[in-house]
Amino acid sequence: MSDKKALLTNQATGKSVELPIRSGSVGPDAVDISALYKQTGMFTFDSGFVSTASCESSITYIDGNEGILRYRGYPIEQLAENSSFLEVAYLLLYGELPTAVQMATFDQNITRHTMINEALLRFFEGFHYDAHPMAMMVGVTGSLAAFYHDSLDIHDPRHREISAHRMIAKMPTIAAACYKHNMGEPIMYPRNDLGYCGNFMQMMFATPCEPYQVSPVAEKALNLLFILHADHEHNASTSTVRLAGSSGANPFACVAAGIASLWGPAHGGANEAVLDMLEEIGDVSNIDKYIAKAKDKKDPFRLMGFGHRVYKNMDPRATIIRQTAHEVLDELADSNNPLFELALRLEEIALQDEYFVEKKLYPNVDFYSGIIYRALGIPRTMFTVMFAIARTAGWVSHWMEMISDPAHRIGRPRQIYSGNALRDYVPVDRR
Ligand code: CMC
C-alpha cells in the first residue's frame, strides 16, 4: 500500500479520519474505506457501484475514457489479430501466454473434457421444445455440480483447475444441446479432431445424416467474437460469480449465477435486443423517430448496443467487430445485409446527435455482434448463450483468482435502511 492518504471530515461533528489510498499498476487510485465503519460508525453509499472497486485483480484492465481494453496487459487489438480463443482462455486463467507445449497440453485437456454425462443430456427432455436456451443454460450448468464430486473441493488448487477446465470445455456442448433441443434435432457429440470453435459449429449445425464441413470463415469469425467477449473485469455477471463464490459455493453454481445475471438486456441480453430493435426500426427513414424515442425520458426505449458504464469513448471491441462484420458479411456472401446497413447508418446518426455526444454514448460490443452471429446462421435466442460460452473463460479466471487469495472474505454489502423503524405486531382481526 502507498503512503498516500485521504482525509474525510464530517462537517457536522468536525471529526476527521485518515483513509489509506491504494494504487494499482495502472489506472485510478482508490480510497480504502474498509475500516471506515469501525472508525466512524458510518457506511459509504454507492448504488450501482459507480465509484467502488470491490477487489484487487490482475486479469483485465479497462480505461473507459481512452477506450482501452487489455487482458493481462495485452491490448485486445493484438489478441484479436493474432491469438485464438483457447490461447486467450489460457492467458486469462494462468496470467501468461502459453509456450507451444503448454498450449498443446491445455488444448488436449479442454478437448478431453468436452463431453457431458449422458444422464445430464437427458435433462433436456424435461424442457419444453421452445424453452429459451438461456433458461436451459442456467439450469444445466448449475446441475454440473451434481456430476463432478471428484473436483468440488474449492480449497484444493488442482480441483479448482479441473473445474475451470471442465466449464470452458463443456459450455459449447451444453449450448449446442440447447439449440438442438429447440430444433428437435438429435444432440451431436463433440468431435476431438476439431478446434474449439469448429467443434461448436459442428455440434450446432451437423446432423447424424450427413458429413458436416466447418466453414473456415465462420470459425475465424467465431474465434474473434469469443476473444472479444472472454473477459471484461467486474461487469454484473463477473461480479455475480465472485459474490456467489465468496461464500465458498462450488464453481458450477457460481457460473450458473453468472449466466443468470448475463441474461438481462442491460448486459449480455443486449445483442439479442439490438437485432429486435433494428428489425423494429426497419428502414433508414425511421431512424430519426427512434433516436427521438431514445432521447425522450418519458419513453422507456433505449438505443440497444449503445452506452456503457465504463466506456465514455468508443468500445474498442465494437471497433474491431465493425471491421470484421464487413469482412465476414462479404465472405459469407451476405454483403447486402440490410440490417448491417441500417446499423451503420444508425451509428453514424447517433454519433452526430448532441444527446449521445454530450452523454458520451458510443456503440458497445453488442451493437454489431448479433449481425455477425446472424450471418453465421446462429438464431437470435442463442446470442446471449454465445456470450456466455466466451465469458466462461473470464468467470472461471476471476473465481480462481478470488479463491486463491488467502485474504478473500465473503462479500456482504451494507444498506441505508429506509423502512419502518419499529412497530408492534397487529393481530389479523385488527388490521
Ligand atoms: N439510449 C439512450 N439513452 C441512454 C442509453 C441508451 N442506450 N444509455 C444510457 N443512456 C442515457 C441514460 O438515460 C442516462 O441519461 P440521464 O443522465 O439524462 O439520466 C445517461 O445516458 C447515463 O445512463 P445510465 O443508464 O445512468 O448509465 P449506466 O452506466 O447505469 O448504464 C448501460 C449503462 C449499458 C446499462 C446503458 O447505457 C444501457 O442501457 N445501454 C443499452 C443496453 C446495452 O447496450 N447494454 C450492453 C452493454 S455492453 C455489453 C455488456 O456489458 O454486457
Query: Over 90: is that where the pLDDT of 1 sits?
Result: no
Q: Residue 56 corresponds to which cell in the numbers above?
A: 484487487
Q: Residue 72 corresponds to which cell in the numbers above?
A: 493481462
Closest residue by Cα to residue 154 from 250, 244, 255: 250
Q: Which amino acid is at 278?
A: L
CB-based contacts of 203, cutoff 8 Å, min separation 6 = 172, 173, 176, 177, 180, 187, 188, 189, 190
Task: Take atom 30 of ligand 1 and give the residue whose Cα is closest.
Answer: 309
Whether 3 is catalytic is no
- Catalytic choice (231, 315, 353, 366): 366
Query: Over 80: is that where the pLDDT of 333 sits?
Result: no
Ligand 1 and 308: CB distance under 6 A: yes
> From the CA of 268, how far away is ligand 1's center (Å)?
13
Summarize pLDDT for 106-149 with one digit per residue, the tens. 999 999 999 999 999 999 999 999 999 999 999 999 999 999 99
Summarize pLDDT for 373-426 with one digit per residue, the tens. 988 999 999 999 999 999 999 999 999 999 999 989 999 999 999 999 999 999
Ligand 1 and 258: CB distance under 6 A: no
Q: Are 183 and 131 in contact (CB under 8 A)?
A: no
Angle between helices 157-183 and 383-404 (to 10 degrees): 170
Ligand 1 atom at minimal distance to the Cα of residue 364: 48
Ligand 1 and 290: CB distance under 6 A: no
% residues pLDDT > 90 (the chain): 88
Whether 366 is catalytic is yes
DSSP category for residue 356: H
Ligand 1 and 321: CB distance under 6 A: no
Cα separation, 109 vs 48, in Å, equals: 38
Query: Over 90: is that where the pLDDT of 341 sits?
Result: no
As to burial, measured by CB atoms within 10 angstroms (0-12 exposed, 13-18 middle, 19+ buried), residue 399 is: buried
> From the CA of 308, how far away is ligand 1's center (Å)?
6
Ligand 1 and 312: CB distance under 6 A: no
Angle between helices 251-262 and 133-143 (to 10 degrees): 170
Q: Are 141 and 255 in contact (CB under 8 A)?
A: yes
Q: Which amino acid is at 269?
A: G
> From the CA of 366, how far away is ligand 1's center (Å)?
13
Summarize pLDDT for 228-275 with one digit per residue, the tens. 999 999 999 999 999 999 999 999 999 999 999 999 999 998 888 999
Sheet with 60-63, side-by-side order of all strands: 60-63, 68-71, 74-75
Ligand 1 and 307: CB distance under 6 A: yes
- Whole-prediction pTM value? 0.94
Summarize pLDDT for 273-292 with one digit per residue, the tens. 999 999 999 999 999 999 99
Backbone angles phi, psi at 276, to 5 degrees: -55, -45
- Catalytic choice (308, 315, 353, 398): 308
Residue whose entry in the numeric block shows the C-alpha cell 456503440: 363
Cα separation, 180 vs 186, in Å, equals: 6
Ligand 1 atom at minimal distance to the Cα of residue 294: 2
As to burial, measured by CB atoms within 10 angstroms (0-12 exposed, 13-18 middle, 19+ buried), residue 167 is: buried
Summarize pLDDT for 83-102 with one digit per residue, the tens. 999 999 999 999 999 999 99
